Amino acid sequence: MKTTKLLVLASLAGFALSATAKTDVKGALQQLKTNEENAKANRKQYEDNAEIASKNIVEVTAAIKQLREQKTQLTSNGQNLEKNRAVLDKMKEKLEGFKKDESAQLKKEESQIAQLRATLEKLETNKATREQNIATYTQKISEVEQEKADWDQQKQAFTAIANELANKETKAMAEREKWIEKRKGYKTESGKWDKEAQVAEQTRVKYDRLKD
C-alpha cells in the first residue's frame, strides 16, 4: 500500500505593492511567477496524493472481498462437517443395534448349548463368530468416537479462523474509510491550490502587460 508524501507549502506573498514597489515591476513580476510556480507545485502534489489514495482504496476493497470469500468457504466447510457428524452418529446407532442383537443372540445360544448337546459344536462355532463380531463392532464404535473427537477439534479451529477473518475484515474496512477521508482532503486541497494557481497566473499576466 502506498503512502502520501508530506508537502512543504510555500506561502504566497501578498499581491499589494507599496508605492516604492510599483517602480520595481521586474521584481514584483518575479515574485508573482514564484507564487504561481509554488501554487502549481502544491496542486500537482495534492493531485498525486489523491491518486495514491484511490489506488489504496481499490487494494483494500479487494482484500475485503477476498476475506469475505474465505469466510463463506469456511462456513460451507463447517456445514459439511455437521453433515459428516450426523452420518457418524447414525453409524454409531446402527453399530450399537448390531452389538445389542449379537449379545442377545449369544445369550440365547449359550442357553441352547446346555439343552442341545447334539448341536454343541455348531453353537460353539456360532459363539466364537458372534464374539468376534462384538469385538469388531466395539472397535468400530471406538473409531467413531475418535472421529467425533477429531471433528470437535476441527470445529474449534474453524471457529478461531472465522473470528480472525472477521477481525481482519473490520480492520480492512476501517482502513478503507481512512483512505476515503484522506482522498477527500487531498481533493479539497487540490481544488484550493488550483484556484490559487489561477489567481497567481492571472496576476502575473497582468503585470507582464504592465511591463510591456
Greater confidence (142 vs 212) lies with 142
**Would you place residue 20 in the very low, low, confident or very high pLDDT band (cuts 50, 70, 90)?**
very low
**Would you place residue 17 in the very low, low, confident or very high pLDDT band (cuts 50, 70, 90)?**
very low
**Would you place residue 78 in the very low, low, confident or very high pLDDT band (cuts 50, 70, 90)?**
low
Residue 25's pLDDT is: 79
| Averaged pLDDT for residues 143-148 | 90
Residue 3's pLDDT is: 52
- Grid cell of 134 as nine digits: 462384538
Q: Which of 30-44, 62-76, 82-96 has the highest mean pLDDT?
A: 30-44
Decide if pLDDT at 132 tops 90. Answer: yes
Decide if pLDDT at 138 tops 90. Answer: yes
Decide if pLDDT at 208 tops 80. Answer: no
Residue 212's pLDDT is: 59
What is the Cα 116 distance to its own chain's centre? Answer: 74
The Cα 42–Cα 10 span in angstroms is: 9
Among 26-30, 115-119, 133-137, which is the least confidently predicted range?
A: 115-119
The full set of domain ranges for the chain reads 21-211
Considering the domain delimited by 21-211, tell me its CATH architecture. Orthogonal Bundle (1.10)
The cell 489504496 sits on which residue?
A: 56
Percent of the chain with pLDDT strictly greater than 70: 86
Q: Comparing C-alpha atoms, which of 52, 44, 48, 60 is closest to residue 9? A: 44
**Would you place residue 158 in the very low, low, confident or very high pLDDT band (cuts 50, 70, 90)?**
confident
